[in-house]
Chain A
Amino acid sequence: MESLSNTTQEKKSLFQLIRKYNKQFIGLITTILALLFISPYIYIIFTSIKPSSEAISNAPTFFPREFSIENYISMFNQMPFLSYFFNSFITAFISTALSVFLGALAAYGLARFSSKLGNVFLLITLCIRMIPMISIAIPMYIIINSMGLIDTHAALIITYTSINVPFAIWLMMGFFNNIPKEFDEAARIDGCNIFTSFLKVILPVSLPGLATTSIFCFMLAWNDFLFALLLTSTNAKTATVGISEFLTAYNLDLGPMTAAAVSFSLPVMIFSILVQRYIVSGMTLGSVKG
Chain B
Amino acid sequence: MTKESKISFLFFAPAGIFMLIFLLFPVMLLIKDSFFQVDMISQDSGTFVGINNYIESIKSDRFLGATTNTLIYVVVAVSAELLLGLFFAMLLNTGFKGHGLVRTILLSPLMIAPLVSGLIWKFMLNSQFGIVNQLLYDFNITSSRHAIQWLSDDRTALLSTIIADIWLTTPFMMLVLLAGLQGIPVTLYESARIDGANKIKTFFYITLPSLLPVMVVAILIRTVDAARTFDIVWVLTQGGPANSSEVLSTYMYKTLTRYGEVGESSAMAVLFIILLLLLSSYFLISMFKANKK
Contact = CB atoms under 8 A, between A and B. Distances in A.
Contact of A60 (B96, B130, B176, B248): B130
Contact of A138 (B116, B228, B269, B291): B269
B287 interface: yes
Contacts of B248: 132, 134
A79 interface: no
Interface stretch (A5-13, A203-211, A220-228): A220-228
B252 A34 contact: no
Chain A's interface size range is: 35 or more
Contacts of A284: 175-176, 179
B119 A243 contact: yes
A71 B231 CA distance: 24
A286 interface: yes
Interface stretch (B1-9, B54-62, B73-81, B186-194): B1-9
Given A126-B284, A139-B27, A290 B33 contact: no
B204 interface: no
Interface string B22-33: 110111011001
B230 A273 contact: no
Contacts of B180: 288
B228 A106 contact: no
B39 to A, nearest CB: 11
B72 interface: no
Given A60-B131, A261-B116, A119 B291 contact: yes
A276 interface: yes
Contacts of A43: 120, 124, 131
B205 interface: no
Interface in A110-162: 110, 112-114, 117, 119, 122-123, 126-143, 145-146, 158-159, 161-162
Contact of A135 (B104, B111, B273, B291): B273
Interface string B77-116: 0000000000010011011111100101111111111111
Given A60-B129, A128-B23, A279-B111, A30 B96 contact: yes
B256 interface: yes
B88 A33 contact: yes
Contacts of A40: 120-121, 124, 167
Contacts of B252: 132, 134-135, 138
A47 interface: yes
A269 interface: yes
B256 A141 contact: yes
Contact of B23 (A162, A225, A287): A162
B205 to A, nearest CB: 21
A161 B104 contact: no
Query: Interface of chain B, helix or strand or loop or mixed?
Result: helix
Interface in A33-49: 33-35, 37-38, 40-41, 43-44, 47
B15 interface: yes
Given A37-B106, A133-B228, A244-B235, A138 B262 contact: yes
Nearest to B221: A287
Among B19, B134, B217: residue with most chain A CB under 10 A:
B19
Given A33-B88, A34-B102, A162 B113 contact: no
A258 B126 CA distance: 13
Interface in B9-63: 9-12, 14-16, 18-19, 22-23, 25-27, 29-30, 33, 43
Given A225-B234, A244-B115, 17 more contacts: A30-B96, A35-B105, A40-B121, A119-B288, A132-B249, A134-B248, A136-B30, A138-B265, A142-B262, A161-B18, A243-B115, A254-B123, A257-B123, A269-B109, A279-B110, A286-B217, A288-B183
Instruction: Sort A-B residue pairs by CB-CB distance and give the 4 closest, nearest first.
Output: A109-B11, A113-B8, A27-B96, A135-B269
Interface of B: 4-5, 7-12, 14-16, 18-19, 22-23, 25-27, 29-30, 33, 43, 88, 91-92, 94-99, 102, 104-116, 119-124, 126, 128-131, 134, 145, 167, 170, 172, 175-176, 179-180, 183, 214, 217-218, 221, 224, 227-228, 230-231, 234-235, 248-249, 252-253, 256-257, 262, 265-266, 269-270, 272-273, 276-277, 280, 284, 287-288, 291-292
Interface of A: 23-24, 26-27, 29-31, 33-35, 37-38, 40-41, 43-44, 47, 56-60, 62, 102-103, 105-106, 108-110, 112-114, 117, 119, 122-123, 126-143, 145-146, 158-159, 161-163, 165-166, 169, 194, 198, 219, 222-223, 225-226, 230, 240, 243-244, 247, 254, 257-258, 261, 264-265, 268-269, 271-273, 276, 279-280, 283-284, 286-288, 290
20 contacts: A30-B102, A33-B91, A34-B102, A38-B106, A41-B112, A47-B123, A60-B129, A102-B14, A106-B11, A129-B221, A130-B277, A131-B27, A143-B25, A161-B22, A225-B115, A261-B116, A265-B112, A279-B110, A287-B176, A290-B217
